[in-house]
Each structure stands twice: as C-alpha cells, then as structure tokens.
Amino acid sequence: MQKVNLGRTGLDVSVVALGAGGPSRLGLKTGSSEQHAIDLVRAAVDRGVTILDTAPVYGTEPVVGAALAELRDRVVLSSKLRPTLPGSSYESTDFIEPSMVLQSVEASLRALGTEKIDILHLHGVRPHQYAYCRDHLVPEMQLLQEAGKIGFLGITEAFGVDTKREVMRQAVDDDAWDVLMLGHNYVNPSAAQLILPQAKEKGKGVMCMYAVRGALAHAEGLRNLVQHLVAQGEVEAGVLDAAEPLDFLLAPGIARSYTEAAYRFCRHTPGIDVVMTGTGSIAHLDENIEAIHGAPLPLEILKCLSDAFGRVRTATGDPV
C-alpha cells in the first residue's frame, strides 16, 4: 500500500481511503449485515488502508467503531459534523447552535468507541452557509481540538451543487482548514484548475471523493452523461464519439475498465493526496485498491479527457 503525507497535518496515510458513505455504505444500504460491514472494514485495514471516513448521517459510525475496536491505533479516523439541524434541508439556514458542536462530536465519539476523531469535517457546506460555519462553528471545533477530542479540522463541499466551487475556493485560503474533501473526476476536473494548485501551495491535505460514480463505471452511463453534457453545452458536440464516447480508455495498454481509468486519473492529479473508495464487497475493494495503485494515464489520454471535459462544471459522475 502506497503512503502519503496528508498535507500539513503530518499524518502518514494510505493513498486509498475507505469511505463509509456513498451508495453502498459498506453494504448496509444494499442489504448486507452489520457483521459484513465490520468484516469489510477489517479487511481494508488488513490490506493496508489506514484512513477511514464516515459521518453521523451515513449511519455507519457504529459499525466502523465496532470494526476498529482492536485496530484503532492503526487508522486515521475521519468523521463529520452537519452544520444544519437534523431534519432540515441541506440547503437551509437552519443552523445548529454553536453549543451543539460538542453534542454532535460526543455522540460520534460514543458511536465510534474512541476518544478522538483525527479529522472532523463540516459536512457538505453550501456557499451561503460558509460564513456562519467559519464564524460560529469553527471556534467551537477549535476548542474541541484544544481539548484533544479532534485532531484536525476539515470541510467537505456539495459537489455538483456548488458548481462554481465557491466553498472550496474560500476554504483553500482560510487557515482554519487542515483538510479539504472535494469532488474530482475526469468528467468534472474543475478542482484541478480552481483549487488544487492553491491547496498544494498552502499545505492543505486533500481527500478526493466522487472519483468513480455510477455513470463512470459503465458504457451506457457514460453515453447518457456525455449526451446530457453536450445538450447543456458543457461538452462540444463531435469531440467524442456519440456511440462509445470513452472507448479510447479501454484501448490496448490503457486501462482494463472504465473504473480503473477513473481511479488512476484521480490518483495522479497533482494536489490530491488520498482517493476515497466506497464498496460493499471485499472483492470490489481489492479491485479498487489495485486500480488506485495503477500508473498515470498516458499524456495523450489526459489530453483527450481535457479537450472533452475541461469546461464541465455541473457533472458529478452520478447517472443522469
């Protein structure tokens, strides 16, 4: 397992992060048992994964905590804090009170069975929420950091909603944040233009989410997504073949699957430290680890992707 320093945190972590959210949520969302999820987390740690990400809203903190009961000292644990009240819209201004930061963190600590969350992110912050988070919630997080309940502060964006990347563009210049969790993939590489150079310059740790979503894993999903982006004017008509728009990724000597190509693209994007992967099976986990460890895509392939998707701002890689 390859390792990397997560920016200025100094944390030495695997380049592969196991995410406990997404469509699978360690298999819990697709019908697997809690024991299966526990076994999956332990299998990831056995394979050298040393950074795990979860959140209260995923419902996976308890199984992650159970899996790490005897493995806690082998991993960096990342979790989250939602800035709006439970039950409210993610777009709302129904913010939690600053005093609720401690309540949320203590609930996460209990669920995870640990005394410290190594990285605590504010979760899915929208542009109109950023100032409140910075001015009212960050000071509370810093107090918990001083108390040893939090190691480092992070922030995650609402990828696909915040199409101008306003939150990440502010956060990259804000000294409060040690780690940025942002969306990035080859159909929406805007982070490479707008955020990652500054993040690298300022020593921010960067965790990449959305490396592979449903539309990026299959030919039909890619066809539909490209057609959608052409119709929106974000991809120029005729740049890609309408029937098999990304078939060049599967040419001999390039990649064995669309998924592999997508992971390799993110892993070797300058400024990205960690690529997150979510799964519900050990076999799939092994495939993803192997893909993330693959070599960079050839320069001519990267140029093809840039020519096609360099102007995209709205896509996340989710099916359309």
Task: Please write the tens of the pLDDT for every residue from 83-108.
Answer: 999 999 999 999 999 999 999 999 99
Distance, CA of 265 to chain centre = 14
pLDDT at 50: 98
pLDDT at 121: 98
pLDDT at 59: 96
Architecture of domain 3-309 in CATH?
Answer: Alpha-Beta Barrel (3.20)
Phi-psi region of 253 (alpha: psi -120 to 50; beta: other; left: phi over 0): left
pLDDT at 182: 98
Using CA atoms, how far apart are residues 163 and 143, in angstroms rounded to an integer?
32
pLDDT at 199: 98
Going from N- to C-terminal start, the domains of the chain cover 3-309
Tokens 């509370």 -> residue: 140
Work out the average pLDDT over 237-257.
96
C-beta separation of 278 from 212 below 8 A:
no
3-state secondary structure of 277: strand
pLDDT at 12: 97
Task: Please write the tens of the pLDDT for every residue from 282-312.
Answer: 999 999 999 999 999 999 999 999 999 999 9
pLDDT at 108: 98
Task: Give the Cα-Cα-Cα angle 93, 97, 100 (nearest 5 degrees).
Answer: 125
| Tally of CB atoms within 10 A around 15 | 21
Q: What percent of the chain has pLDDT over 90?
A: 99
Task: Please write the tens of the pLDDT for every residue from 164-183.
Answer: 999 999 999 999 999 999 99
| Furthest C-alpha separation in the chain | 57
Nearest partner of 105 among 85, 131, 79, judged by Cα = 79
Work out the average pLDDT over 54-72.
97
pLDDT at 317: 96
At 283, list the tokens: 């076999």
Work out the average pLDDT over 130-146.
98
Work out the average pLDDT over 252-261.
97
At 146, list the tokens: 């001083």
Task: Please write the tens of the pLDDT for every residue from 13-26.
Answer: 999 999 999 899 99
Buried residues in 175-208 as b, exposed as e (16+ CB within 10 A)? eebbbbbbbbbbbbbbbbebbbeebbeeebbbbb
